Chain A
């Protein structure tokens, strides 16, 4: 009986250990959130959304140019990344099959695992060097390279879920395959596709490394897409490593806003994902 007692004790001990590990995983999460919320709320004010950063030594200022810059960068990146992702996925599910499609899937997976700083270096050689300057265009290009594999793989998963009978019904009515794909297949997977798009936007909204030597950042407003442009993550980075308390304050406020935007996007994505599930 002592052996059994020991075995049972060991099982209980391991269960306790697993519970402790779970707790250890959750503690940093809780701490990070507490700090972002506490420091963020105590630092944020209306100026944060309306003003650009003040020169060193002056108090106040905000991240208005960073907010606008991030919005511009994400919009441009979406214009490039979303069509490539969606139409690429359509090829894989509607026309593809065989080795070539597997190769594309594999490439997309590999691409999504490449460190984002390398994406930035490639965008630098492809766009910053030829255009002779850091620019919003180069930044958006780097971000779109990160979006493409995410949109492609999530769209593909969603298109695969559309029943074949739906396509057949449309084709039987004499509707050409391309119209069937756009109006029937893609449409019935739309909410899932939007979920993927929102998730990819949430992902690139926080990306800093690919922007370091493409968009570069800007203390002021940018007038052209061929100029360096400010972005929220870049500003948070440079303020966080600065020695000034006032800039740390701005960085915390920026972190709060960025996290809020990203969780808003994730929640929206989940909402779309759920409405699709209940719809079926």
Chain B
């Protein structure tokens, strides 16, 4: 086979004479074609992302024109009157995600510390792969378990218990339906724990051994060593893991849709049903009654997209700053 690169070694004079023929051949050579093909595929990733943003903006223009910024603070959601406001969904998403993270963060960091610093490596590995199994279960199966097993349990046991003992607080008022905010918080907590745990584990493993040794040499107990040497060193990475979990919780659709009760309202009781941004899209988008209705749903999608873009970028930067781009680049 004749390789095109041989041309480079030829005499300059010769090259000058044959330059046109050589140039064409080089341009059409396998290497160039292949390079441009791979470039096109790589470029398509950027194109897809831009296309997504452009499409979402374009499709929600109708709703933006009609409601303006009032869309975010509006509380009505009425397809018949064509009056749409996103506040109940934003409220639902924010409350469920934040509560789920408040529960999941200590559990995840505790588990990550336990499996990396305390138990023998092999036992820790077993627990780590079990936790990774949790991450692999599809959202719809969490939803199935949530609606058929967990929600009835919340209705029978957790709900009445909270009403009896903490019922004087506005957060635990009213009848327990089973499906509702509390069930959504539980299911989200179960779903984000594996993400936060596995990234925190990586972050803790990236803490240099000398940090631990220094603390131990100063006479620190095991907990003091973790508190003064390991956790502060991995602080920003762990924060990144938590923020990534937040991004996942806010965008989570199926499991939440199945257990949250799908009622657009500004709730104060955790036992009441609610609604989130992804859930309303999932439930109403395919059967949107008018152009304005689907544009309003698109705008909710756009808000969700912008929020997750910000959250994810922030999380990546934080995780990269600790693991120095070695492990942080993995797609999760």
Contact = CB atoms under 8 A, between A and B. Distances in A.
B45 A104 contact: yes
A117 B257 CA distance: 12
B281 to A, nearest CB: 6
Interface in B139-190: 139-145, 147-149, 190
B204 interface: no
B51 A179 contact: no
Main DSSP-derived SS at the B contact region: helix
B41 A83 contact: yes
A42 interface: no
Nearest to A111: B49
B137 A259 contact: yes
B41 A174 contact: no
B95 interface: no
A84 to B, nearest CB: 5
A213 B311 CA distance: 26
A261 to B, nearest CB: 10
A117 B253 contact: yes
Most buried by B among A106, A205, A252: A106
B137 A32 contact: yes
Contacts of B111: 18, 21-22, 25
Interface in B96-121: 106-108, 110-111, 113-115, 118
B329 interface: yes
B136 A263 contact: yes
B42 A104 contact: yes
Interface string B50-65: 0110011001000000
A256 B322 CA distance: 39
Contacts of B37: 87
A147 B60 CA distance: 26
Interface stretch (A7-15, A45-53, A57-65): A7-15
B114 to A, nearest CB: 4
A115 B114 contact: no
B278 A115 contact: yes
Contacts of B190: 28
A153 B304 CA distance: 24
Given A18-B113, A24-B107, A36-B145, A236 B48 contact: no
A55 to B, nearest CB: 21
Interface residues of A, number: 94
Given A233-B140, A240-B148, A259-B137, A21 B106 contact: yes
A216 interface: yes
B130 to A, nearest CB: 6
Contacts, number: 266
Contacts of A251: 144, 148
A1 interface: no
B69 interface: no
A78 interface: no
A80 B213 CA distance: 51
B46 A7 contact: no
A17 B304 CA distance: 36
Given A22-B127, A153-B329, A266 B142 contact: no
Contacts of B329: 105, 109, 153, 157
Nearest to A236: B140
B221 interface: yes
A125 B29 CA distance: 39
A92 B106 CA distance: 38
B49 A32 contact: no
Given A18-B114, A108-B331, A149-B331, A118 B48 contact: no
Contact of B224 (A11, A209, A266): A11
A212 B280 CA distance: 12
Interface of B: 1, 3-5, 29-31, 33-35, 37-39, 41-46, 48-49, 51-52, 55-56, 59, 106-108, 110-111, 113-115, 118, 127, 130-131, 133-134, 136-145, 147-149, 190, 193, 197, 221-224, 226, 244, 247-248, 250-254, 258, 278, 281-282, 285-286, 297-298, 301, 304-305, 308-309, 311-313, 315-316, 329-332
Interface of A: 7-8, 10-11, 14-15, 17-22, 24-26, 28-29, 31-32, 35-36, 83-84, 87-92, 94-96, 101, 103-119, 121-122, 124-126, 134, 145, 148-150, 152-154, 157, 174-179, 181, 202, 205-209, 212-213, 216, 233, 236-237, 240-241, 248, 251-252, 255, 258-259, 262-263, 266
21 contacts: A8-B221, A10-B221, A15-B223, A21-B107, A21-B110, A25-B107, A32-B137, A32-B141, A84-B41, A84-B45, A88-B45, A108-B331, A110-B312, A113-B244, A113-B251, A114-B52, A118-B56, A126-B51, A176-B29, A178-B31, A208-B254
